[in-house]
Amino acid sequence: MITDKELNFVREALETARRCGAQKARATLSKSEEDLVATLDGEVDRVTHCADRSLSLALFVDGRFGSYSTNKLEPEALEAFIVKAVEATRVIAEDPCRDLPDPARCCRDALTGNELGLVDPERGGVTPAERQRIALEASAFPVATPPEYKIVSEEGEYSDSIYETVVMDTNGVCCRHSETSFDYGVEITVESGGEKYSGYWWDASSDHRALDAPACGRRALERAVGQIGSAPVESGRYTAVIDAEMASKVVSPLLRALSGYAIQQNSSFLMDSVGKRLFPDGLTILDVPRTPGQTCSKYFDSEGVATVEAPVIERGVVKEYFINTYMANKMQLAPTIEDATRPKVLPWPRAGLNCEAILRECGSGILVTDFNGGNSNPVTGDFSYGIEGYLFEQGRIVRPVSGMLMTGNFLKLWSRLLFAGDDARPCQTKLVPTLAFSEVDFSG
Amino acid sequence: MNNCERFGVSEEQLRALVAEGLKAGGDWCDLYFEDTAYRSLLLRDGEVGSGGYHVDFGCGIRVLKGEKTGYAYAETTDFASLRSAARAAGSIAAAASPHGGQPSGRSRGTAIKSDAAGVDFYPELRSWEQAETAGFVAFLQRIDAGIRARDSRVLKVIATLSYSVSNVMMYNSLGELTSDHRPLGSLSVQVIFRQGDRTENNSVSRSLRMGAEMISDEVLEDLVSRAVEGMDARFEAKRPKGGQMSVVMGAGASGILLHEAMGHAFEADFNRKGQSVFCEKMGRRICRPGINILDDGTLPASRGACNVDDEGVPGQKTYMVTDGILTSYLHDRISAAYYGVAPTGNGRRESFRYNPIPRMRATYMESGPDGTKEDLIASVRKGIYVDQFANGQVKIGEGDFTFFVKSGFLIEDGRLTMPVKDINIIGNGPEALADIRAVAGDLKVDEGTWTCGKEQSVAVSCGIPSVLIGKLTVGGE
C-alpha cells in the first residue's frame, strides 16, 4: 500500500515544485506490483515479477504548463528533475486556459483508496508456487481431441497484481485509489486439414474468488474449433450481431468522438451534438463509475475530479461531452469529467436478452465474434473492420465465416440498432452487451 | 562517464548478479540496464502550449532454462534490489519442467560478428539534450504556418515533436558487456480541413534515429508538403464497392503489407511454437522467383536500425526470403538455440520492463524487374491503387492480415479514376505472397512513426517497391 512516508514524499514534491517557481502543481504517485506465470502446452514457460513506482507532475509556471514523470525517486535526483521540469515549462507558450480543477469539483471521499472494495487482501499472500499451481490447473493441455483436428499449441497467462495511485494538488486535493486484479487469458491454436485456427478467451476480477480460469481454456478451444472450415460468404447486406466480447469496438468510437479534445479540434463526427437526438431511442449509455466491487470503478479522474453516475447518451440524445478543466476553459463550457470511467450500454428493447436470444430474434445474418484489424475515421465516422464469426439462419449458426470486412458509418450503423442485450461481461472496462444492427455491409 | 558509472554498478557486481541469477539452475542470465529521457512539445491552435519530460531508469534481469524464461526488474540499481530481481528471475529454473531442453550458454550464440559490427548507424551529431528548446518551438510554429499558407481549407493543425535518448548496457553469462546510445526523434502532424460543410483530416509523420540535426528545412518541407498533398482527392473520395480485386500497392508505406502479412509469421517464436503459417516451410518456395524479403537493422538513421539488439547481438541484415525461397526466421537467442542457428539480432524489447522476444526492425522487399508503378497500374483492368495507410494486424495461425487504407484510387482499364479512402483490406499472408504478380524497381523505405505492438511497443520501419497483388478483399459498401 502507499505508505504515510510516500504520501509525505508527494507533498514534498509539490512543495519543491512551488519552491522552484511553479505557482500551482499536481502530483500523482503510482505504484504497482505484478507477478505472472505463463504456460506453454501445459508447462511453465515464463515467470515474471514487476514492481513499478513513478511520480508524475503537472506544473503551472507563470501561465505556462508542462507534464513530467520520473521513476528516479531519490531525493537529490527528484529535486534536480523538478528544477529541470520548471525550466522546461518556461519555454512553453503562455496559455491562460491551463489551470487546476476547482477544488469544489474534486473528490473528497477517496481517503483510503479502498472505498470501492477493490482490494483483495489475499493477493499479498499468493506464493510463487501457488501462482504456478493456478496457471497449470487452468491449462487444458493435453486434451483428448477428435480426429478432425489437433491442438498445435496452448499459451496461457495467469497474473495477479495491485495498482495504487494518489493524486494531490496545491489546492489541497488528495485522493487515493487501490485495486487488485487477478487475470487469466489463454490462446489455443488448432490444426485441421492443413489450416490453423486460433481462439482466445480471458477473465479478470479484482477478487480472486471470482476468477474462473479453467473456463477460459474451454471457451478458447470452442472459439478455435468453431472456426474450422471458415470462409467468406457472399458480399452483401446482412443483419450483424456483435457478441458482447467484441461489441465495444462500435461503442468506443462514439465515446472518443465526445471527448473535449476531439470537439475542440473539430476532429469528431459528433460536433455540436449535445442535446441532439442523433441516435435511436434504443441507445442509452450510462457512466457508472462508482459501483462497489466492480473492476475499473473509480472515484476520481486523473485531475482528481470526482466521478458521478451520469447519462452520456440517453434514449438517443447526446447528454454530455467529456471536458476536463483545460478544455472547459478553452471552449467556455462547463467542465464535466475527462472521460467515461465505466460506460454501460443499457438493454433494449427489454432486459434479459443474451446472444442466443438475439440470434433467435434476428433470424438470419452474420454473428461477429472477432475483429481482425481495421479502423475508423474520427472526423467522418466511417469505419471498415475485418471480421470473423458465423453465418446464422433461423436463429441458429450454420457455418463459420472469416476473411470478410464490415464497412459503414457509425451514425448510420447506430440508426439501425435492433437489439442491445443484457449480457455485458463484468470484467470489461466498457459494459457493452451483445448488439444487433440491420442492413450492414459485409464484403468478402 | 562509462556506462558502469552511469548505472552505479561495477563489473564485479555484474558478474555477481549473473551468478545469483544462475544459482537455482538456469543456463543463461543477462542484464539490461536502461536510462531513457523522453521529451515532447505539442503545438495546438498555433501555440506550443504544452510539453513534457519523462525519465525511465532501471535494469531487467532474465534467466533462461532451456526455452523457459524468468524475468524481473528493478527501478533502482542498488545491488540489493538487483540481487533480489536476479533471484526472482532465477526461480524459473525450479519452475521449468525437465523436458524443455537445456542448451549450454555457448549454444545461444555469441552472435556471429556481422559486417556491420562496430558501426554506429545512428550517431547523435547534434545533442538533443543540449539543443535549445526554443528552436524546436520555432520549428513547430513554422510547420503550422507552412501548412496554413499552402491550403486555405486548413482549420486546425496539431504538430508534435518528441525525442528520446536511451543509454543501454547489457551483460550476459558469456561475459559479454555491450552498450548502445540510441537517439530517436519523431515529428507528427495532424491537420483538419474544412471545405463547405465537409470536414476531412490528414496526418503525416517522420521518425529517425538521429540527433537534433533532424530539425532541418528538408524535414519541414517534407512534412508540410505531404500534410496538404492529395486533399482535393480526399474531399472527392468515396467508398468503392467492396469485394475481391487486384491491388497495386504504392512504394514505401505499403511495406505494412510485408510487416503484417509475412513479417510476423517469420518471427521464430511463432514458428518454434508451431503457430506460424510458415513453421514447416523452411527451404521451400513461398513466392515467385526473384522476390527477396529482408529485415534490416543496418539502415542508417532508420527507426528500425539497431547497432546491437536488446540481447547484445550486432545489428545485421537478415534475408527471410531469397529468390522466392524461405531462408531464415527472425531469431532471438532462445529460438536461435532451439533451431541451432546464430541469433539474427532480432531480440528486442520495449524497455527494461520487458523480456526480449523476436521482433522486426526495418522490413522490406528489394526492388524487382517489372518496370514502374505506372506499368503496374496500366496492367490492371479493374482494381485499386493504395498509397497511404493507418494500421494493420495479423492472425498468426491463420495468416489472415488486414491493413487500413487512408487513401488510394480505383483502377479502371489501366487508369486511376475515383479516389477512395478509409477502407480496410484483408487477405491471407501466404496466399498474398504467392499471388504477387509484379514488382516494380522503385523500393522505398518509409520513415513514418511505425510502431509494432506485438505484446510490447517497439519502433520499426517498413518498405516495399510498388507491387501488384492479383486478388485481395477490399471493404466497401
Instruction: From chain A, pick out residues whose CB is under 8 angstroms from the CB of B99.
Output: 43
Same domain flag for A218 and A285? no
What is the band of B306 on the pLDDT scale with cuts at 50, 70, 90? very high
Instruction: From chain B, pick out residues whose CB is under 8 angstroms from the CB of A82.
Output: none
The strands making up A343-345's β-sheet, listed across from edge to edge, are: A317-318, A310-314, A285-287, A343-345
Distance CA B292, CA B370 (A): 14
Orientation of helix A75-89 relative to helix A4-19, angle to 10°? 40
Nearest to B15 by CA among B2, B4, B25: B4
Distance CA A311, CA A320 (A): 8
Orientation of helix B11-22 relative to helix B79-90, angle to 10°? 30
- Judged by CB atoms within 8 Å, which residues 149-168 of B form the interface with A? 155-156, 158
Inform me whether the pLDDT recorded for B441 exceeds 70: yes
Same domain flag for A201 and A243? no
Distance CA A397, CA A236 (A): 18
Task: Report helix, strand or coil for B445.
Answer: strand
Q: Write the ipTM.
A: 0.92
Domain spanning B3-118: CATH 3.30.2290.10: yes
Q: Kind of pairing, strands A43-61 and A24-40?
A: antiparallel
Q: Which domain holds residue A170?
A: 4-226
End residue of a domain, out of A195, A226, A257: A226
Distance from the A72 Cα atom to the nearest Cα atom in chain B, whole angstroms: 7
Decide if B426 and A45 are in contact by the 8 Å CB cutoff: no
Decide if A69 and B51 are in contact by the 8 Å CB cutoff: no
Instruction: From chain B, pick out residues whose CB is under 8 angstroms from the CB of A40.
Output: 273
Nearest to A241 by CA among A392, A399, A26: A392
Inform me whether the pLDDT recorded for B115 exceeds 60: no
What is the band of B105 on the pLDDT scale with cuts at 50, 70, 90? very low
Task: Locate A207 and state its grid cell.
Answer: 477478487
CATH number for the region B133-166+183-236 comes to: 3.30.160
Same domain flag for A194 and A254? no
Same domain flag for A382 and A272? yes
Decide if A65 and B355 are in contact by the 8 Å CB cutoff: no
DSSP string, B154-196: EEEEEEEEEEEEEEEEEEETT--EEEEEEEEEEEEEEEEEEET
Mutate: best of B61, B269, B404, B406, partner A, most A CBs <10 A: B404
What is the band of B97 on the pLDDT scale with cuts at 50, 70, 90? low
Of the listed ranges A325-334, A390-399, B96-105, B129-138, the least confidently predicted one is B96-105
Decide if B69 and A46 are in contact by the 8 Å CB cutoff: yes
* Cis peptide bond N-terminal to B314, omega within 30: no
Cβ burial B304-327 (10 Å sphere, 16+ → b, else e) = bbbbbbbbbbbbbbbbbbeebbbb
How many C-alpha atoms does A343 have within 13 Å on its Cβ side? 24
Which of A66, A70, A196 has its CB closest to that of B397? A196
**Contact in structure between A427 and A295 (CB atoms under 8 Å):** yes
Task: Determine contact: B235 vs chain A, CB below 8 A.
Answer: no
Which of B52, B399, B422 has its CB closest to that of A68? B52
Which of B69, B85, B398 has its CB closest to that of A198? B398
Instruction: From chain A, pick out residues whose CB is under 8 angstroms from the CB of B239.
Output: 382, 407
Q: Kind of pairing, strands B68-74 and A43-61?
A: parallel
Distances (CA, A) of A141 to A37, B31, B65, B67, B293: 16, 33, 21, 18, 36
Report pLDDT for B113.
Answer: 56
Decide if A43 and B85 are in contact by the 8 Å CB cutoff: no
Average pLDDT score, chain B: 93
> In chain A, what's the furthest Cα-to-Cα distance?
73
Same domain flag for A242 and A370? yes
Same domain flag for A183 and A244? no
Mutate: best of A230, A264, A265, A383, partner B, most B CBs <10 A: A265
Distance from the B281 Cα atom to the nearest Cα atom in chain A, whole angstroms: 13
Same domain flag for A204 and A330? no
Same domain flag for A217 and A247? no
> Which DSSP letter does residue B263 get?
I
Distance CA B229, CA A292 (A): 52
Work out the burial of residue B69: count CB atoms within 10 Å of its CB; fewer than 13 is exposed, 13-18 middle, 19 or more buried.
buried
In a domain, A231, yes or no: no
User: B81: Cβ–Cβ under 8 A, 6 or more apart, which residues?
Assistant: B74, B75
Q: What is the CATH number of the domain that holds A201?
A: 3.30.2290.10
Nearest to B122 by CA among B197, B207, B195, B52: B207
Nearest to A2 by CA among A105, A149, A112: A112
Same domain flag for A58 and A177? yes
Distance from the B477 Cα atom to the nearest Cα atom in chain A, whole angstroms: 6
Q: What is the pLDDT of residues B359-399, one digit of tens each?
A: 999 999 999 999 999 999 999 999 999 988 888 888 888 88
Work out the burial of residue B410: count CB atoms within 10 Å of its CB; fewer than 13 is exposed, 13-18 middle, 19 or more buried.
buried
DSSP string, A179-197: EEEEEEEEEEEEEETTEEE
Distance CA A183, CA A167 (A): 26
Which of B57, B199, B393 has its CB closest to that of A71? B57
Decide if B275 and A152 are in contact by the 8 Å CB cutoff: yes
Which of B53, B242, B260 has its CB closest to that of A443? B242
What is the band of B104 on the pLDDT scale with cuts at 50, 70, 90? very low
Instruction: From chain B, pick out residues whose CB is under 8 angstroms from the CB of A131.
Output: none
Q: Kind of pairing, strands B362-365 and B461-464?
A: parallel
- Judged by CB atoms within 8 Å, which residues 64-103 of B form the interface with A? 67-76, 85, 88-89, 91-92, 95-97, 99-100
Which of B76, B97, B475 has its CB closest to that of A405? B475
Give me the mean pLDDT over the B303-328 stretch. Answer: 97
Report the amino acid identity of residue B211.
G
- Judged by CB atoms within 8 Å, which residues 382-441 of B form the interface with A? 390-404, 421-428
User: A272: Cβ–Cβ under 8 A, 6 or more apart, which residues?
Assistant: none
Taking CA–CA distances from A97, the nearest residue in chain B reads B49
Inform me whether the pLDDT recorded for B123 exceeds 50: yes
End residue of a domain, out of A177, A205, A226: A226
Which of B244, B353, B422 has its CB closest to that of A377? B422
Inform me whether the pLDDT recorded for B234 exceeds 70: yes
**Contact in structure between A260 and A439 (CB atoms under 8 Å):** no
Query: Number of folded domains in chain A?
Result: 2
Distance from the A93 Cα atom to the nearest Cα atom in chain B, whole angstroms: 5
Taking CA–CA distances from A91, the nearest residue in chain B reads B134
Same domain flag for A140 and A250? no
The phi and psi torsions of A208 (rounded to 5 degrees) equal -60, -25
What residue ranges of chain A have pLDDT lower than 50?
none
Q: How many beta carbons lie within 10 A of that of residue A146, not counting itself?
A: 7
Report pLDDT for B66.
Answer: 92
Distance CA B431, CA B428 (A): 5
Distance CA A262, CA B196 (A): 20
Same domain flag for A288 and A377? yes
Domain spans, chain B = 3-118, 133-166+183-236, 243-475
Instruction: From chain B, pick out residues whose CB is under 8 angstroms from the CB of A302.
Output: none
Distance from the A150 Cα atom to the nearest Cα atom in chain B, whole angstroms: 12
Same domain flag for A140 and A289? no
Distance CA A251, CA A435 (A): 10
Decide if B54 and A385 are in contact by the 8 Å CB cutoff: no
Report pLDDT for A143.
Answer: 79
* Cis peptide bond N-terminal to A378, omega within 30: no
